Structure 1
Amino acid sequence: MTQFEHANITVPNIDAALAFLLNAAPDFQIKTDQTHQDSYRWVHIGNESCYFALQEPHSPSTSKDTRKPYQNIAVNHIGMIVDDLDNIKLNLLALGYEQNGDVTQEKHGRRLYFYDKAGFEWELIEYDTETLTDRYNYTD
């Protein structure tokens, strides 16, 4: 079975991305944080089974995101399964993160979207079943 291991993302501010991820995914930890001499910074953050490889832009002039999500070719959002959507939502709101829409209730779970401080969208999903065919059933 194929499964997700990592995604490599260039972010405008690694510290801002880390702050969001450490609150949105409480089981995540920083695995490595390195800046090689005369190079850019990169960090791996995740848990035992998956991680995000975050890196800074190679040039400060490219750190502004000018794309239009859902219109330009790029990643629109990344979804993460979480254990306690309600607590994570309250924590992120208290920290000043912007919620995008209301919680969407589905047959076997709920989902919610947030923007990090750089404007990147993250989808948080909480399932009420371990049965994968129920989680990913696209019919009513």
Structure 2
Amino acid sequence: MYLEHVNLVVNDVEQALNFYQAAFPHWRVRSEGSGSWHGKPRNWLHFGDDHHYIAFSDHGEGSNRELSGDSVGLAHFAYVVQSVDRIVARLTQAGYPVDKQGAQHPHRKNVYFIDPAGFEVEFVEYLSDIPAERNSD
């Protein structure tokens, strides 16, 4: 079992795509189109690989939840990567600053970014193949 996709409603599909292309240069636009959602026009795009993707739809209104607050909603989602340093280099080169560094840990490195739609995205690199070490406090 694995997570196939997440569906993010954003204000601007191209801005979202630019961020994720910088993070995942090996991914591609799998499909895209337009239509309506509950009577409102929208453009949509699927960006990923053969097994996982992010769906973007541009019919969003307003802003994302306040991440420093305690309101209900998505707090963040995370991707396991081979190198946090390479992700940071690609995203900062593309103009996206690190939002916060993860806590010091002997068995993992992690960093958080805020994407253009206001979603917090964590990137984590595990330094151990032992699950108990990876998931320890």
What TM bracket, shorter-length normalisation? 0.7 to 0.9
17-26 or 34-43: bigger deviation: 34-43
Counterpart in the other structure of 1:16: 15
Per the alignment, do residues 63 and 28 of structure 1 end up closer, same or farther by CA in structure 2, a change over 3 Å counting? Answer: same
- For structure 1, the 5+ residue unaligned runs are none
Take 1:8 and 1:93, find their aligned partners in 2: how far apart are those partners? Answer: 24
Among 39, 50, 53, which residue is 2:52 paired with?
Answer: 50
Query: Moved runs in structure 1, 4+ residues, more than 4 A?
Result: none
Deviation at 1:133, TM superposition (A): 4.3
122-131 or 18-27: bigger deviation: 122-131
Deviation at 1:36, TM superposition (A): 3.4
- SS of the residue aligned with 1:15? helix
TM-score calculated relative to the size of structure 1: 0.81
Contact preservation (8 Å) 2:64, 2:119: no
TM-score calculated relative to the size of structure 2: 0.82
Take 2:8 and 2:64, find their aligned partners in 1: how far apart are those partners? Answer: 15
Residue identity (%): 27
- For structure 2, the 5+ residue unaligned runs are none
Take 1:131 and 1:25, find their aligned partners in 2: how far apart are those partners? Answer: 26
- SS of the residue aligned with 1:42? strand
Aligned residue pairs total 133
- SS of the residue aligned with 2:118? coil
Deviation at 1:63, TM superposition (A): 2.4
- SS of the residue aligned with 1:36? strand
